[in-house]
Amino acid sequence: MSKLAVKYNNDLNSIPLRNFTSSELNIFLTICANIKEKNCDLVNYDFDKLRELARYESTSIERFVADLKSTYSKLLSTSYTLEDERYIESFTLFNRYTIDKKKQTVEIQVNENFKYILNDLNLGNFTRFELREYTDINSTYSKALYMRLKQWKSTGKWEVTLDEFKRVLSIPDSYKMSAIDNRILKLAEVDLAPFFKGLKIQKLDRNNKKSGKGRPVKKLVFTFQQQDDSILKIQPNKYALGKYENVYLTEAEHKQIKLEMKKYYLVEEVSEWKHKKKSESNNNDYALIMAFDKNKEKNVSAKQHELNQEKVRNEILNLYADFDEEELIDIQGNIFNQLKIKEE
C-alpha cells in the first residue's frame, strides 16, 4: 500500500460532512489526496485504483457503484460559506460527476471556488496526514475528530467550544453531554490512541475550570504529544512534496517551479516516477526535475521538427496541385518529365 498523503487548506476542517458513511468519507478523502496541488477542474479515476486507495472491502461492483453515487450526491449537496465584512458567499464543493459503469471509471468536476482548498497550501495553513491512517478508522465521528486534531498536531492542543464541536462533527442537537461522552469521546480515545500519543480530553465549564455538578461543559480541550512531519528531519530546510510526498525541495526551489516556471506538474511526474522506481533518494530532486523538463523540451523540439517537415511537404504538394506531369524525349533520346498546367 502506497503512503499517499491527504493535504488540504485548513478551511476544509470547518465544513461539516453530514450523514456520510465511513466508506463514503474514505472515497472523498481519496479524491482529495489525488488532486491536491494539481490545480485541475476535471479528474478521472478507474474503479480498481479508487477501491485500493479507499480500502473498499466489498468486491461487488454494483455496491461500489451505489456507494460512488451516494458519495457524490452528498458532495454535490455539501456547501461551504465564505464571509467577510461585506459579502457572504456560498458554493458547493463539486459541480458534477459521471460514473461509467461499462468502462468502470468515474469523472468528477471540482468547483472553481473550491479549488483553493486543495491548491492554496502555503506553509502553516494546511492539514496533512496519511490516507491509510484515516481509512484505518471506522467511526465517522472519530474520523472527523482525527482531521481536526491533525490540524493542531504541531501544538498538540485543540481547544473548541462545545457548540462548535457539535457543529463541525455534525452531532445531533438531541445529544446531551452524556451521549456525546459515551458515543463519541470515549470511542475516539480508543480509535485515535495509535495516532495521537498521550491523547487526553478535558471538559471545562464557562470559567475554564473542570466541569462538574452544576457546572455544565462549555469547552473541550484535546491534548496529545506534538507532531511535526511536514519537514523532512534529515534535511530540515526541505519539504516533502508531490502525490507521494517523496520529492524534496527547498521553499525557494518549490516557488521557482510552481510560481515562476508554472510547471508544478513536473513535481507530480517525478513523484510518480520515484514511487514506481521505489526510490527514496533525496540527494537532488531539483536537478532531477530540471532534467525531466529538459527532456520534455527536447521531445517537443523533435516533434516540432517533424511537424515542420510535414508542413513543408504539404506546401510542396499544394504548390504542384495545379500541374500535371508529361513524359518527353530530348534530342539525344533521353526521357524526362515536364510539368504542365492542368487542363480545365
- Report pLDDT digits (tens) over 24-33: 999 989 888 8
Q: What percent of the chain has a predicted confidence (pLDDT) above 90?
A: 32
**Per-residue pLDDT averaged across 135-141, rounded?**
94
pTM: 0.67
Closest among 233, 241, 288 to 122, alpha carbons compared: 241
Q: Based on the fold, state whether residues 309 and 262 are members of the same structural domain.
A: no
pLDDT digits (tens, 9 = 90+) for 276-325: 887 766 668 888 899 888 887 777 666 666 776 777 667 656 655 555 55
pLDDT interval class at 274 (50, 70, 90): confident
Indicate if the pLDDT at residue 230 is higher than 60: no
Q: Based on the fold, state whether residues 27 and 113 are members of the same structural domain.
A: yes
Residue numbers of the domain that contains 288: 242-294
Domain count, the chain: 4
Which residue in this structure is represented by grid cell 532531477?
A: 288
* Rounded Cα distance, 121 and 254, in Å: 12
DSSP 228-276: --SB-TTSTTEEEETTTT-EEEEHHHHHIIIIIS--THHHHHHHHHHHH
Q: Based on the fold, state whether residues 170 and 90 are members of the same structural domain.
A: no
Specify if 299 maps to a domain.
Answer: no
Indicate if the pLDDT at residue 123 is higher than 60: no
Specify if 237 maps to a domain.
Answer: no
Q: Based on the fold, state whether residues 9 and 113 are members of the same structural domain.
A: yes
Specify if 165 maps to a domain.
Answer: yes
Specify if 112 maps to a domain.
Answer: yes
Q: What is the pLDDT of residue 1?
A: 41
Q: Based on the fold, state whether residues 19 and 40 are members of the same structural domain.
A: yes
Q: Based on the fold, state whether residues 32 and 96 are members of the same structural domain.
A: yes
- Residue 141, classed as helix, strand or coil, is helix
Q: Write down which residue in 176, 209, 230 finishes a domain.
A: 230
* Rounded Cα distance, 242 and 267, in Å: 6
Q: Write down which residue in 119, 151, 168 finishes a domain.
A: 119
Q: What is the pLDDT of residue 316?
A: 57
Q: Based on the fold, state whether residues 289 and 314 are members of the same structural domain.
A: no
pLDDT digits (tens, 9 = 90+) for 179-192: 999 999 999 999 99
Q: Write down which residue in 119, 145, 165 finishes a domain.
A: 119
Q: Based on the fold, state whether residues 6 and 94 are members of the same structural domain.
A: yes
Specify if 235 maps to a domain.
Answer: no
Q: What is the pLDDT of residue 340?
A: 55
Among the residues of the chain, which ranges form H helices? 22-35, 47-53, 61-77, 115-119, 131-136, 140-151, 162-168, 177-180, 186-191, 251-255, 265-277, 285-319
pLDDT digits (tens, 9 = 90+) for 236-263: 577 777 777 788 888 788 888 887 888 8
pLDDT digits (tens, 9 = 90+) for 81-98: 777 788 787 877 788 889
DSSP β-bridge partners for residue 338: 326
Indicate if the pLDDT at residue 149 is higher than 70: yes
Burial of 180 (0-12, 13-18, 19+ CB in 10 A): buried
Q: Based on the fold, state whether residues 186 and 285 are members of the same structural domain.
A: no
Specify if 126 maps to a domain.
Answer: no
Rounded CA Rg of the chain: 29
